[in-house]
Structure 1
Amino acid sequence: MRQTLRCRHFKIIKKNKATKMNFIHLIKYASFATCSKLNKNINSGNSEVFTNNVNPIMRYPNADLNKSKIIEDNRNKAGIYRWVNNINNKTYIGSSTNLSERMLDYYQSRILLKYKTHIHNALIKHGYLNFSLEILEYCEKEETISREQHYIDLLEPEYNILKKAGSSLGYRHREDTIERMKTLHLIDENVKNNRIKARLGYKVSEETRLKNSRATTALIGIPVVVKNINTGQETEYVNLTEAAKDIGVSRTAVKKALDLNKCLKKIYVISKKDN
């Protein structure tokens, strides 16, 4: 049965506060065509990226047409996956304790547009039809991080920003985080100067003390630790907002999970960092 590829455009409306004008950003995006039933082992006419004698146990040559098959085959399975750009052969390696859910994330336009990693940008630029997906291996949930690291070291994927397996959470600082850290440093200096003045007999007003306290609290927020209960990996964050950004939920959701001692996305436990 012949498959036809339909395309659509997502309109992302962004308002420029300075000019009060609306700018429409059109992103050409391949639609998710429904696929007919495929064989368990999918072969491709495209050149396959088999390096270092790594032969994937599953290969989906067209991530657009094979979407339904990808989700169905990997439901509730843990393992290591690799995205392959069929145009330039660049790759990305990742792992998940539930491959089906992870792939569903990749197929959500809002997530592609929100996170500016190399693989997200490449999927937007080239489209799913120009990517193949490989399942390098299935494994136990507790082995996903170690096996991912094995393949990253072995295959040196170009789209992986970080060369350490697991979530990228906690390994990079965003620009807004860097600015917070700079401002915090200035506040710390002001506090130190006020203490020196107090020792020398200068009177520091209550208003100044209160201002420093509020500024510090606003910037620091609540330091938290996010634990993946499937892998045991723990990542520290300077505040709830940073944790929320990397998990892919709202700050309110993180705060609620912290207050009610509930899991986020069924795998993340949030706790306050011990001082």
Structure 2
Amino acid sequence: MYKNNKNKNNFYKKYYSTKTNSGNYSKVVTDFLTDKNLNAVICFEDLQLQETKNIINEYSKNKAGIYLILNKVTLDYYIGSAATSRFYSRFHKHLIGLVGSKIVKNAVRKYGINNFAFIVLELFPEEVNKENNKKLLNIEDFYIKSLLPNYNILTEAGNSFGYKHTEIDRIKMKANYSEERRNRIGLLNKGKKLSEVTVERMREKALLRSSYSYSQEGLANLKKNSKPIVLYNKDGTVYGEYSSIVEVSNSLNCSVKTISRALKSNSKILKRTWYVKYK
């Protein structure tokens, strides 16, 4: 993982620190990161302040990577990815404009933006382009499958490029959960002593997990009536892959009719923001 632990700017110090044990996070954020065995690159709190928004905007320049949005009241969270210079765009879309994840939108309206934290988990070492876009998505996919953030998986889990883990994808996670992946995920906790409370939580969650897994035939039956769609940013990078037009509609808050019209048009432009095509 790529950490930004050097050359801290005092201007940012009030709003974030670069180490979990630095003491600059609020207690709820520190406890959350400790419980999840995460070492954040940067954590922004006091998100209701204009000064904080300005700092996030400045920090976002020339950076790409994985972010986490934490509800500090319920400890529910959302994980996404941001292309180069788009951390602020993702922050604004989900928490200010409220046009990203509908689950996050409803939570912000209920609890208030002051009860959320915007956390950068990992920085991507390259400028994101068409060629390496998939690498960033794979890193995000690993975080989602490792941590299973409920703001993602309840109905429309996804990342900042719009890729959504539908129910089919979640079933795939079960069917393809190899021993290698189990070992990789286990490395997140390797060498770290878990508290008795954490161990008990893990035990309780394990007891609640279903042992049922779907066959490949079952997966095929679920997919057969879906026609995949791909959204592209205007620069040609992939914004997201969706299993159906309905999924695009739900995730973008856009009518099926509008999406259908864009698919049939010569320009393929959707909402003056994306190009939409069948996969």
**TM-score (structure 1 length as normaliser):** 0.53
Read off the aligned partner of 1:145 and give its amino acid letter.
L
Q: Are 1:158 and 2:150 an aligned pair?
A: yes
Number of residue pairs aligned between Structure 1 and Structure 2? 184
Q: Is the 8 A contact 2:79 2:149 kept in 1?
A: yes
Distance 2:143 2:150 in 1: 12
CA gap 1:246/1:254 in 2 versus in 1, 3 angstroms: farther
Choose which of 162, 171, 177 in structure 1 pairs with 2:166.
171
C-alpha RMSD over aligned residues: 3.7
Mark the runs of 5 or more structure 2 residues left unpaired by the alignment.
Answer: 1-9, 18-23, 169-226
1:133 aligns with 2:118: yes
2:44 paired with 1:56: no
C-alpha contact (below 8 Å) 1:244/1:254 kept by paired residues: no
- Structure number having the greater helix percentage: 2
- Any idea what the Cα deviations from partners look like across 1:124-177, whole Å, max 9, x if unmatched? 11111111110001214322221112222333323222596543658269xxxx
Larger Rg: 1
| Residue of structure 2 equivalent to 1:255 | 261
Whether contact under 8 Å (1:71, 1:104) holds in the other structure is: no
Change (3 A) 1:161 1:224: closer
Q: What does 1:32-71 correspond to in 2, within 5 Å?
A: 37-39=11-13, 41-42=16-17, 43-47=24-28, 48=30, 49-51=32-34, 52-65=36-49, 66-71=52-57
Could you give the per-residue CA deviations for residues 62-97 of structure 1, whole angstroms, max 9, x where no partner exists?
A: 222222222331145321111122223332212232
Deviations 1:88-127 (A, max 9, x none): 3332212232222111212445537xx642x222211111
The answer to whether structure 1 residue 226 and structure 2 residue 233 are counterparts is: no
Distance 1:99 1:266 in 2: 21
1:225 maps to a residue whose letter is: I
Q: CA deviation at 1:59?
A: 0.7
Higher relative contact order (CA 8 A, sep 6+): 2
Q: 1:84 to 1:254 in 2, by over 3 A?
A: same
The question of whether the paired residues in 2 share the 8 Å contact of 1:149 and 1:164 is answered with: no
Asked if 1:80 is matched to 2:66, the reply is: yes
- 1:27-55 Cα shifts (integer Å, max 9, x gaps): xxxxxxxxx95338543243312144321
User: What is the SS of the residue equivalent to 2:27?
Assistant: coil
Q: Could you tell me whether the CA contact under 8 Å between 1:82 and 1:94 is conserved in 2?
A: yes
**Superposition deviation, residue 261 in structure 1:** 2.6
The 10-residue stretch of structure 1 (137-146 or 253-262) with the greater mean CA deviation from structure 2: 253-262
Call closer, same or farther: CA 1:171–1:158 in 2, change over 3 Å: closer
Q: Quick one: which amino acid aligns to residue 12 of structure 2?
A: L
Mapping 1:230-241, distance limit 5 Å? 230-231=237-238, 234-238=241-245
* Aligned counterparts of 1:93 and 1:55: Cα–Cα separation in 2: 15
